[in-house]
Amino acid sequence: MSLNRILVFFNFHFFFSFFFLFVSFEIYVRTMGLEYLDLYLIHWPVRIKEGANMFNLAEGEVLPFDIHGTWKAMEDCSKLGLTKSIGLSNFSCEKISQLLEHATIPPAINQVEMNVSWQQRKLLPFCKEKRIHVCGWSPLGAYGVLWGSNAVMESQILKDIATSKSKTISQVALRWIYEQGVSPIVKSFNEDRMQQNLQIFDWELTKEENVQILQIPQRRVFRADSFVQENGPIKSVEELWDGDI
């Protein structure tokens, strides 16, 4: 590998049974020529059948999830030196509490949807109290993505703030997340937009601007309805998110 390993942060997600957790590691990590990961995450508090497509799940492809067994396997990965850190993604406060009952290594992070139109008002203080760092996916509301929303990038509130500060809407959206102590994980395939998204560290939002951002209506962009099945272990999106919806 020609890249300097120290300068690259490798984060993988794992989805299937906890046996598959080690298989996933071998498939994804060893074939890339890596010795270790920087961060390994449980992608969802959900288990799906090996090989299933999370966006198009057939009846019976969502299986019961063993929260403690899975975390124990993650801890084993950490103890074996396969990954520097282990963490969670899309876990609610209730599911984190359940996991912490038996954890010997606490999760380093919880990677969840976070943007001005889903501000994680319940989860964020909880994770801060538990010293679990939050990373925010879809910080621009997955703008232009098939399942995404325009609630962030076409917000009049953000537009007005951006104009008054000579910033772009995406910069205001990302700066707001950063000021909450959260690491936004923004995606762009465009070099100019990548550069633009990085210019958020040498200015700040005012108290008044923060108050305006609090007025933005709240709704998850991605509710993960595809995991809900009449005869499966998850009967409703409320159950998946433990009511935080």
Residues at the binding site are 68
Start-end of H helices in the chain: 18-28, 67-79, 93-100, 123-129, 156-165, 169-179, 191-198, 207-214, 237-240
- The answer to the question of residue 142 lying near ligand NAP (CB under 6 A) is yes
Which residues, at least 6 apart from 161, have a Cβ–Cβ distance to it below 8 Å? 167, 172, 205, 209, 212, 213
> Residue 198 Cβ, how far from ligand NAP at the closest point, in Å?
10
Concatenated DSSP letters of 100-127? HTT-SS--SEEEEE-BTTB--TTHHHHH
Q: Is 197 in the site for ligand NAP (CB under 6 A)?
A: yes
- Contact range with ligand NAP by CB under 6 A, out of 31-39, 61-69, 193-201, 204-212: 193-201
Tokens at 164, concatenated: 């008054």
Closer Cβ to ligand NAP, 185 or 245, answer by number: 185
Q: Which residues are annotated as a binding site for substrate?
A: 68
Which residue in this structure is represented by tokens 């964020």? Answer: 124
Binding range to ligand NAP, per CB under 6 A, among 19-27, 98-106, 156-164, 182-190: 182-190
Choices 18-26, 68-76, 138-146, 232-240; region in contact with ligand NAP by CB under 6 A = 138-146
Nearest alpha-carbon partner for 214 in 205, 222, 223:
205
Sign of CA dihedral 112, 31, 188, 151: negative
Candidates 15, 18, 137, 241; binder of ligand NAP (CB under 6 A) is 137
**Site for ligand NAP contains 86 (CB under 6 A):** no
Stretch that binds ligand NAP, among 51-59, 66-74, 117-125, 139-147 (CB under 6 A): 139-147
Interaction mask 144-163, ligand NAP, x per CB under 6 A: xx------------------
Among residues 93 and 200, whose Cβ is nearest to ligand NAP?
200
How many other β-carbons are positioned within 10 Å of the β-carbon of residue 242? 17
Which residues pair with residue 87 across a beta bridge? 41
Assess 79 for contact with ligand NAP (CB under 6 A): no
What the block records as the tokens of 47 is 């288990």
Residues that bind ligand NAP (CB under 6 A): 43, 89-90, 111, 137-145, 168, 170, 185-190, 193, 196-197
